[in-house]
C-alpha cells in the first residue's frame, strides 16, 4: 500500500511530529513497507492455529499459586520502629 505524502503528514500531525520534506519521503516509504507486510499477514489462513499467550509455547516457569500460612504479626513487627497493636504506626500526614 503506497502512502501519499499527505497521509504521512496527517499521521505525523497526529503523533505531534515535525518532519522535514526528506523525512516525509523516507517515512512514506518505510510506513508503506510496514503496511505491505501487514497486508501479507492478513492473507494467511490461521483458522487452524490455536491462540497462544506466549510465542514460545513453553510451560510456565512460575510456581503453582498455593495458599500458605501467613507470617505471625509479632514476627512481622519485630523490627518496626513504632507499632499500634498488630499494625505499623506511621506519622499523620493529612490534617
Segment 52-84, tens digit of pLDDT = 776 666 676 788 889 999 999 999 999 999 999
pTM metric for this prediction = 0.50
* Domain assignments of the chain as residue spans, ordered by start: 5-42
57 Rama class: left (phi>0) / alpha (psi -120 to 50) / beta:
left
pLDDT of 6 over the 90 cut: yes
> b vs e for 58-67, b when ≥16 Cβ sit within 10 Å of the residue's Cβ?
eeeeeeeeee
In CATH terms, is domain 5-42 a member of 1.10.20.60? Answer: yes
Task: Tell me the pLDDT of the chain averaged across its residues.
Answer: 89
What was the pLDDT predicted at 57?
A: 62
Amino acid at each position: 500500500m503506497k502512502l501519499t505524502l499527505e497521509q504521512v503528514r496527517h499521521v505525523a500531525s497526529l503523533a505531534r511530529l515535525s518532519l522535514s520534506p526528506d523525512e516525509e519521503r523516507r517515512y512514506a516509504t518505510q510506513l508503506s513497507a510496514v503496511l505491505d507486510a501487514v497486508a501479507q499477514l492478513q492473507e494467511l489462513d490461521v483458522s487452524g492455529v490455536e491462540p497462544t499467550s506466549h510465542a514460545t509455547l513453553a510451560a510456565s516457569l512460575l510456581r503453582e499459586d498455593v495458599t500458605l500460612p501467613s507470617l505471625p504479626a509479632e514476627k512481622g513487627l519485630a523490627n518496626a520502629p513504632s507499632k499500634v497493636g498488630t499494625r505499623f504506626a506511621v506519622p499523620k500526614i493529612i490534617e
